[in-house]
Amino acid sequence: MTPIIDLRDIYKIYYMGDSEVRAADGVSLKIYEGEFVAIVGQSGSGKSTLMNIIGCLDVPTSGEYYLNGEDVSELKDDEQAHIRNKTLGFIFQQYNLIAKLNVLENVELSLLYAGISKSKRSAMAKEALERVGLSDKLKNFPNQLSGGQQQRVSIARALAGNPSIILADEPTGALDSKTSREVLDFLKKLNQEGNTIVLITHDNSIAAEAKRVVRIMDGKIIFDGDAGKAFEAR
């Protein structure tokens, strides 16, 4: 079986003055369809770099990245945008909703850039909002919603285009513990429904919710295995 995500010996090197920073230092990682993987690490460990590369927001300095069997490690701007649009759904810590668009329009955004017709766009967005339980808030604006609701809108936005992978970057970082719980439960539910989820977090207790944990330190993978074993090993 081909993995959805196949990182092969990925390096990402930044130069700060004379010193060299290896944000990704020979990372190899395979993620298969239907997995729920948490990438965990302290700030500065290189997990954000990894997430940017996985999310096709950045290209590695060297190494190969196959997404759905396709080499995406040397794409140009617009080609990356196309891949993001078709195969990836992002959930951000700060929700990243556009304030002047209403809930429905926010969810429709990626479909808009995919060139889907208006009626179909609206139907797909409504379906995604129904899945997160916000069918009654279509015309509301983000600032009229609670943090938890806003994060659910952003989840709906990530789901709307039926992406192969959902990439969640600290999705509970701005939420209280109760709403965090709800969001995590929802991600689990999505995973049970067959969605592949990659969760990036610095918080071990959140990472423990995933099936598989990948721990990053100084740009290297120092642990990769079952969530249960991840924490007893320490």
Partner 1 sequence: MGFFQAFKLALKSLAGNKMRAFLTMLGIIIGVAAVIILVSLMQGLTGEVTSMFSDLGTEVLTVSVQSRGATRTVDDEDFYEFYAENNELFSAISPNVTVSGMVKQGNNEYSSSVKGVSEEYMAIEGYELTSGRFISYSDIEYYQKVCVIGSYLSKEAYNGNAVGNTIKVGGNKLTIIGVLEETDDSTEGSSDDLILLPYSTACKIGRTQINSYSFCVADTDNISYAEEVIDNYLYNIFKSDDYYTIINMQALIDQMEEMINMMTMVLVGIAGISLLVGGIGIMNIMLVSVTERTREIGIRKSLGARRRDIMRQFVIEAGTTSAMGGLIGIVLGTVFSIVLGDAIGINATPTVLAVGVSAGVSIFIGVLFGYLPASKASKLNPIEALRYE
Which spans of this chain sit near partner 1 (rule: CB under 8 A)? 52, 55, 57-58, 77-78, 81-82, 84-86, 90, 92, 96-98, 100, 109-110, 112-115, 157
Closest approach, Cβ 185 to partner 1, in A, equals 25
Helices marked H in the chain: 47-54, 77-87, 103-113, 118-131, 147-160, 177-192, 204-207, 227-232
Closest approach, Cβ 86 to partner 1, in A, equals 7
> Could you give the CA distance from residue 205 to residue 68 in angstroms, rounded to a whole number?
30
Closest approach, Cβ 109 to partner 1, in A, equals 5
Which is closer to partner 1, CB of 32 or CB of 141? 141
Which is closer to partner 1, CB of 167 or CB of 190? 167
Label the pairing between strands 196-201 and 212-217.
Answer: unpaired
Any idea what DSSP says for residue 234? -
Which is closer to partner 1, CB of 116 or CB of 213? 116
Closest approach, Cβ 211 to partner 1, in A, equals 26
Which is closer to partner 1, CB of 34 or CB of 173? 173
Cβ atoms of 102 and 138 closer than 8 Å: yes
Which is closer to partner 1, CB of 69 or CB of 115? 115
> Could you give the CA distance from residue 141 to residue 156 in angstroms, rounded to a whole number?
15
Between CA 116 and CA 121, with CA 117 as vertex, the angle to 5 degrees is 70
Closest approach, Cβ 167 to partner 1, in A, equals 10
